A = this chain, B = another copy of it.
Amino acid sequence: MKKRTVAIAALMSAFMAGSAKAQSSVTLFGVTDAALTHASGSLSNTTGLTGGGNADNRIGFKGTEDLGGGLKAGFWLESGFNIANGTGIATNTNNQNSGISSGGGLTFNRRSTVSIGGDWGEVRLGRDYTPQYWNIGMYDPFYQVGVGASQILMSYLPALQGGGSGPAVWASNSVSYIYNMPFNGLTYGGGGFYGQAMYYRGNNPSNLPNSSDGNGYGIRVGFIGANLTVAIAHGQTSYETGNTQQDNIGASYNFGIIKLTSMFEHDRFSSITANGFLVGATAPAGQGIARIAYSRYQYDISHDPSASKLAVGYVYPLSKRTQLYGTYAHVWNTGGNAASIPGSTTGPNEPSNGFQLGMTHSF
């Protein structure tokens, strides 16, 4: 009889928002980060306050429920915003350029998922990071944030070619199987092997000429040891303007006094290919952490255009939740390329510089 009561209560509570239900365990979390930023290139500069020099601004709601028998349910709703002006960051409904949200309202662009899982792993539904993005983010000492963000994503081939920039980081309409994933997994048993396989769709009607646009998948397998971590990923997405394939591998080794990281990326978009790599390090220095990264991205087309970035930074913790930081980055272009630090523009083969001084406060 009890089970039947639960069944009816469940059906009713799904209909009625906020009616009587088991105690809730929602975590409200977020990051606020603002920086004085100067970006310069040969054509234009900006100086001003920008959001997210060390960590992306976000506010989120998440929770898990113990279902008994080793089973868990969970949700995660995370909204990115620009602290400098209060706008929300756009999401993308269909993994194609046509699906980018507009107007500056808050959305759950950074993650919007419901999950069920156990020791056997997690099934996650919704909008989430793609498996093929994680190595780019995790193995960059600057975590792809601020002026120090590695040139690999900044020059990302499919985005430049008009392919959907959306799934470069997140994919909507996705289903993932996740095993033992650190940090953001519903179930995490500690180090060792972990992995994720994701399938996502553009949700196009079948009678469109390009009905598979925005469809794609990614797969990633990693290992976390005492000092060594390594992970390899492959992803693929279909677009009206061409298909993209992405392969990457990243590794880090913690020598105690210094932690070295490195990653390699190979991208294909239609018949064009591009290669990127990063080498970086973080090390305790004084009371804080020094970090340095050199990254390079080169297109295999006429003149082999390439962009290289050297970024150096320092993060000084006032507490576990609050940090001050400074970052400097320099970009070199060759082969007619004109990559620049966001906020500036630069001419072909001209350099670009960025400098950021800011603070991060998490809650």
A residues at B contact (CB < 8 Å): 3-4, 6-11, 13-19, 21-22, 24-36, 43-51, 54-55, 58-63, 65, 67-68, 71, 73-75, 77-79, 81-88, 90-94, 99, 101-114, 116, 125-127, 137, 143, 145, 172-175, 183-184, 200-208, 282, 284, 287-289, 291, 315-323, 343-345, 358-363
**A322: chain B residues within 8 A (beta carbon):** 10, 65, 67, 73, 116
Cβ contact within 8 Å between B24 and A26: no
Cβ contact within 8 Å between A173 and B48: yes
A sample of 15 inter-chain contacts (CB < 8 A) reads: A3-B317, A6-B320, A7-B284, A10-B323, A13-B320, A17-B58, A30-B77, A32-B113, A34-B126, A44-B208, A67-B322, A83-B126, A102-B103, A103-B103, A205-B343
Cβ contact within 8 Å between B7 and A201: no
Give A329 Cβ to nearest chain B Cβ, in Å.
17
**A110: chain B residues within 8 A (beta carbon):** 17, 86
Cβ contact within 8 Å between B77 and A59: yes
Bound state CA distance, A120 and B75, in angstroms?
Answer: 39
Say whether, besides A11-B282, A31-B17, A85 and B74 are in contact (CB < 8 Å). no
**A62: chain B residues within 8 A (beta carbon):** 18
Bound state CA distance, A72 and B53, in angstroms?
Answer: 20
**A99: chain B residues within 8 A (beta carbon):** 85
Give A181 Cβ to nearest chain B Cβ, in Å.
12
**A321: chain B residues within 8 A (beta carbon):** 10, 13, 21-22, 65, 73
Cβ contact within 8 Å between A318 and B17: no
Q: Which residue of chain B has the shortest Cβ distance to A85 in the bound complex?
A: B172
The contact of A86 among B107, B206, B291, by CB within 8 Å, is B107
Say whether, besides A77-B59, A93-B82, A101 and B108 are in contact (CB < 8 Å). no
Cβ contact within 8 Å between B183 and A16: yes
Cβ contact within 8 Å between B67 and A318: yes
Give A21 Cβ to nearest chain B Cβ, in Å.
6
**A59: chain B residues within 8 A (beta carbon):** 61, 77
Give A189 Cβ to nearest chain B Cβ, in Å.
16
Cβ contact within 8 Å between B71 and A318: yes
Bound state CA distance, A291 and B11, in angstroms?
Answer: 10
The contact of A85 among B48, B94, B207, by CB within 8 Å, is B94
Give A218 Cβ to nearest chain B Cβ, in Å.
15
Cβ contact within 8 Å between A77 and B32: yes
Cβ contact within 8 Å between B10 and A320: yes
Give A11 Cβ to nearest chain B Cβ, in Å.
5
Cβ contact within 8 Å between A315 and B26: no
Cβ contact within 8 Å between B108 and A104: no
Bound state CA distance, A44 and B174, in angstroms?
Answer: 21
Say whether, besides A4-B284, A107-B105, A206-B46, A85 and B75 are in contact (CB < 8 Å). no
Cβ contact within 8 Å between B102 and A46: no
Q: Which residue of chain B has the shortest Cβ distance to A20 in the bound complex?
A: B320
Cβ contact within 8 Å between B114 and A49: no
Say whether, besides A83-B126, A99-B85, A24 and B28 are in contact (CB < 8 Å). yes
Cβ contact within 8 Å between A105 and B101: yes
Bound state CA distance, A202 and B46, in angstroms?
Answer: 10
